[in-house]
Structure 1
């Protein structure tokens, strides 16, 4: 019994000592959260490094399915349905698998997203969407596998994948316009606030929509504000200018310039000064 208790004690001590030791992971995990338009996108993956090894065609063989990182499979989550290569991918979580080749990659969005790396048995019915990504050469080595959200707009972004001297990207589109227009239409039928008019006007300006409607809304927003901010007046000047109302644009820009000077905001001072020069007011 004495020997048994000693063995148990030694085992417990050993486990306790092991639990206190923390070392860096060779392929640390990473999590990216990005809003694209009104859609929330989360990307979770692990990041292996080259460590002197040749990556594609060697460490990651050409023509074979790759977990797109290390450890557990890479996972992406969309809060809304997105469109990739003309095909709709429903809202939800997906594993991202890739098949790298020299000039392009196959990129696969796999419905079962909680695999430990590659699925033990591949199930084609779990392939929610498959597309191709062109390969672009990088001028320098990217030591650690990196995923990014690139080329952000209100309506789209690109999932970038970089490692070694390779960049591959997949563009996805989000339903921002439909969501915003539905929201604007519903709000304008009710009791819109000054902020509602302002946000709607700016969206119309930046999306290239009816600029006269944007002008009506921005003027309404400014008239409802006791003391419009210089950045709001700046948008008013730009909307008036695009609508062809040069006098209104100059008046708003002068007010914005005055407010920016009082606030000590050099960026807006310069923007307004440049615009006033362009419009012949300075």
Structure 2
């Protein structure tokens, strides 16, 4: 009986034993918020390993899985615009056709494939766009996807490998979402932070500066002791409106408050602005 138990234990251990070793194309995940939109990329990352990539390992003018192993997937939490074309929110597989001058990028609604689909279904192509390419002055050893050049309403999706980068501009509906949020909140019971956020957005997007100043004043009026960063923003709004004397007075208040708080960054910024606006 003991022998049988030992044999069963040994067999179980052999079945459950697995060799753990690094994958040749490790999994990577990129999460980026652009404005108010979440973009997530999941992909496997092959490396050059001394091989020539484009035009050899990855042939020109043929569809590529854009990575390794399972589909490279991208998820958008909101509808977006890519190179002027609309793409509905959701998750898509990314397939590409690298060419010497540019790439064709395909967003495919079926993400369940290992590599390329066994049978291509054109009805599952949600979007097909052309990506521009540039040569890099160095080699990127491991295939890399990057989202950069971030603004409140846009970003650039980059594919980097070997000495090539292919890139696509992406626009997100930040302005539409923020304006609706401001409209709804202002009809309810806005807080000081709500007024500040609205004023700050109008300032950064160069909208109605008069409205921005009105909101920042309401935000300040609701504070027992106005924070230096809120005064700093008001001074910048006033300066943009051409109210330099008022901007200097507000910046001086922000400066004193920042000194009291021991925030050297805001002390420096206010001193520089006061000097600039005094000329």
Query: TM over 0.5: same fold?
Result: yes
Aligned to 2:242: 244
For residues 260 and 10 of structure 1, do their structure 2 counterparts lie closer, same or farther at Cα, with a shift above 3 Å needed?
A: same
8 A Cα contact 1:108 1:127, kept in partner = yes
For residues 272 and 26 of structure 1, do their structure 2 counterparts lie closer, same or farther at Cα, with a shift above 3 Å needed?
A: same
Aligned to 1:253: 251
Deviations, residues 65-104 of structure 1 (Å, cap 9, x unaligned): 1111111010001111001122211010000110001110
Alignment RMSD: 1.8
1:71-150 pair list within 5 angstroms = 71-150=69-148
Aligned to 2:170: 172
Q: Secondary structure at the match of 1:142?
A: strand
Aligned to 1:262: 260
Shift of 1:151: 0.8
Aligned to 2:14: 14
Greater shift, 247-256 or 135-144, is seen at 247-256
Residues in 2 aligned to 1:255 and 1:57: alpha-carbon distance in whole angstroms: 62
Residues in 1 aligned to 2:14 and 2:194: alpha-carbon distance in whole angstroms: 63
Aligned to 1:231: 229
Q: Which runs of 5+ in 2 are unaligned?
A: none
The TM-score normalised by the length of structure 1 is 0.93
The TM-score normalised by the length of structure 2 is 0.94
Shift of 1:10: 6.5
Question: How many residues matched?
Answer: 276
Shift of 1:114: 2.1
8 A Cα contact 1:215 1:243, kept in partner = no
Aligned to 2:26: 28
Residues in 2 aligned to 1:217 and 1:67: alpha-carbon distance in whole angstroms: 50
Shift of 1:25: 1.0
Deviations, residues 33-80 of structure 1 (Å, cap 9, x unaligned): 111111111110111100100110111111111111111010001111
Aligned to 1:161: 159
Aligned to 2:274: 276
Residues in 2 aligned to 1:132 and 1:164: alpha-carbon distance in whole angstroms: 20
Deviations, residues 172-202 of structure 1 (Å, cap 9, x unaligned): 1111111111111122222221111110000
Shift of 1:269: 1.4
Greater shift, 248-257 or 209-218, is seen at 248-257
Q: Which runs of 5+ in 1 are unaligned?
A: none
Greater shift, 69-78 or 264-273, is seen at 264-273
Deviations, residues 92-150 of structure 1 (Å, cap 9, x unaligned): 00001100011100000001122111111110000000000111000001000000101
